[in-house]
Amino acid sequence: MSNFEGVEISIKVVTDKDKTRVLFVEGDGNFADILLSFLVMPLGRVVKMLANDHVKENRPTIGCIGNIYNSMKALDCSCFCSRRVKESLTDPLSSFDEECAGLKLDICDYRPSYYSCHSICSLSLRKLSVYWDEPVCKCYKNMKLGAGEEQIQSDRLGKVFTLDDATFIVTDDLHIMPSTGTVAEMVTILGFGKPEGTAKQDVKLKHKDFVDLYIASLISETPLSEVILKKTGQEVKLGKIMLRAKNTESVPQESDKKQMILKMVINKSTKKLLFARGDKAIVDLLFSFLPISLGGVERLLAGKPFIKSIDHLYKSVHNARNKNYFKNSDIEKRLNRSSLAHGYLPKSYVLNLDEEKLPSDIEKYYVYYQLSKSFFYGQGKYLRGPKTYMIYDDLTIEPFYMADIFCNKEEVSPCDLEELNLTIGPEEALNLLQAALTTKHALTSGILNPHRDLDISVHE
């Protein structure tokens, strides 16, 4: 059972007269904060939440990102640079954990970890970096992980991204704007042609509704209609389901960043992809999707279209109308930047994301922080090498053995196999990330299909 099971968020819903679609909803800062939190939740944390038995029931899956998470969990600890690396990917930190601790409702039900000093000074420090084992307090005692959490939680309860007492209009496709515009502006923004009549109702949204809304925002163009009208017993007209990743035209290449090779093993007769082979750098890249958030994906796409509702949510952060409604200007910049939490950035990372810097004032309170001993050899990488991994179209990952070529699941003769070497640079890595969120055939859609000359199709 979720810790937020009893929490309800009240909103006003305006639908068309027949209640077939939501025109817009109106809610307070708590509601806007929960929607904005969709942009900062690490994907691995969302996958973990969706796998919980009390959350799982009959919900659609999101692309095949869950297969990356499950493969990472199934991989033996000996494949990772340390046990702590695996733990850090199993429960990814977010650079917004402090803010999210104040959410009235957190869809991931996440409780940040805190280091506390059990001496008389009783200092607490949120876990800010995957590299820390035990920070040392100014009283020279090692701080212990876990305690101090409740006190900080209660201190922070309230609005986390937006100002107290503000109210917001949210369109069906997740444009957020303050409720202070003029009527004429509203009519233009909402695109009312000649409204045939409208209906208003009060709705209370619970934890499960926001989980549904997160998923609906990824697979429907009308997520609010889908979740709210289902809730009020109306028939829902599904929006267009987005299954294909859209290829970006070009992504700035940084010449100093390493390119990786993915070997695609293809059945020559049927042109079907059997699986791909890659080294630990490729798997590090796939595992690095787990600490990335949807805001991070948007940041990487730099304004190019991805999924309509998520595009709108991200653009709402920069909407000039919303500028004065954030708690501070720093929040807007950080939402825009969507940095990974400190310590997650692999060396030679091909994606154009950065990681959070540690706060400069930290030494005022703590003497020093010892970097993790268990990460000493692992900084900037997740997996030990050299080792080759097998990656299936749905991004299931397993250690590779040559025997798999000769005794493959599809029983294809090795003579009928060909291996294509494809270079994975920033553009391909981004295509793969988008494909992981939108399709079950991520390698075919994200990597092979953009190579139109290869004529390789998706086989169900």
Q: Assess 79 for contact with Zn ion (CB under 5 A).
A: no
Looking at the Cβ atoms of 121 and 238, the one nearer to Zn ion is 121
Closest CA to 36 of 246, 309, 266, 363: 309
Q: How far is CA 196 from CA 19, 330, 335, in A?
A: 12, 43, 38
The CA angle 164-166-171, to the nearest 5 degrees, is 135
Instruction: Kindly state the greatest CA–CA separation across the chain.
Output: 72
Task: Give the pair of three-digit tokens for residue 58.
Answer: 């009959």
* β 176-178/167-171 pair status: antiparallel
Minimum CB separation of residue 358 from Zn ion in Å reads 19
Looking at the Cβ atoms of 41 and 125, the one nearer to Zn ion is 125
241: phi then psi, degrees, rounded to nearest 5: -80, 130
Minimum CB separation of residue 137 from Zn ion in Å reads 3
Q: Assess 68 for contact with Zn ion (CB under 5 A).
A: no
Per CB under 5 A, which of residues 90..129 are in contact with Zn ion? 117, 119, 121
Minimum CB separation of residue 145 from Zn ion in Å reads 14
Closest CA to 102 of 170, 33, 169: 33
Residue span 420-439 as binding mask against Zn ion, x where in contact by CB under 5 A, dash where not: --------------------
Looking at the Cβ atoms of 118 and 337, the one nearer to Zn ion is 118
Looking at the Cβ atoms of 151 and 328, the one nearer to Zn ion is 151
What distance in Å separates the CA atoms of residue 118 and residue 120, rounded to the nearest whole number? 7
Minimum CB separation of residue 366 from Zn ion in Å reads 9
Interface with Zn ion by CB under 5 A: which range of 9-17, 43-51, 139-147, 404-412?
Answer: 139-147
Looking at the Cβ atoms of 73 and 144, the one nearer to Zn ion is 144
Minimum CB separation of residue 136 from Zn ion in Å reads 9
Residue span 29-48 as binding mask against Zn ion, x where in contact by CB under 5 A, dash where not: --------------------
Q: Assess 367 for contact with Zn ion (CB under 5 A).
A: no
Per CB under 5 A, which of residues 276..315 are in contact with Zn ion? none
Q: Which residues touch 51 (CB under 8 Å, ≥6 apart)?
A: 66
Looking at the Cβ atoms of 119 and 269, the one nearer to Zn ion is 119
Minimum CB separation of residue 199 from Zn ion in Å reads 59
Q: Assess 139 for contact with Zn ion (CB under 5 A).
A: yes
Per CB under 5 A, which of residues 332..361 are in contact with Zn ion? none
How many residues lie near Zn ion (CB under 5 A)?
6
What distance in Å separates the CA atoms of residue 28 and residue 398, rounded to the nearest whole number? 46
Interface with Zn ion by CB under 5 A: which range of 6-14, 56-64, 133-141, 279-287?
Answer: 133-141
Looking at the Cβ atoms of 125 and 274, the one nearer to Zn ion is 125
Rounded to the nearest angstrom, the gap between the alpha carbon of residue 362 and the centroid of all alpha carbons in its chain is: 28
Looking at the Cβ atoms of 119 and 253, the one nearer to Zn ion is 119
Q: Site for Zn ion (CB under 5 A): which residue of 35, 128, 137, 442? A: 137
Per the document, the length of the chain is: 460
Q: Are 431 and 446 in contact (CB under 8 A)?
A: yes
Q: Is 131 left (phi over 0), alpha (psi -120 to 50) or beta?
A: alpha
Minimum CB separation of residue 135 from Zn ion in Å reads 10
Looking at the Cβ atoms of 141 and 231, the one nearer to Zn ion is 141
Interface with Zn ion by CB under 5 A: which range of 136-144, 149-157, 256-264, 373-381?
Answer: 136-144
List contacts with Zn ion (CB under 5 A): 117, 119, 121, 137, 139, 141
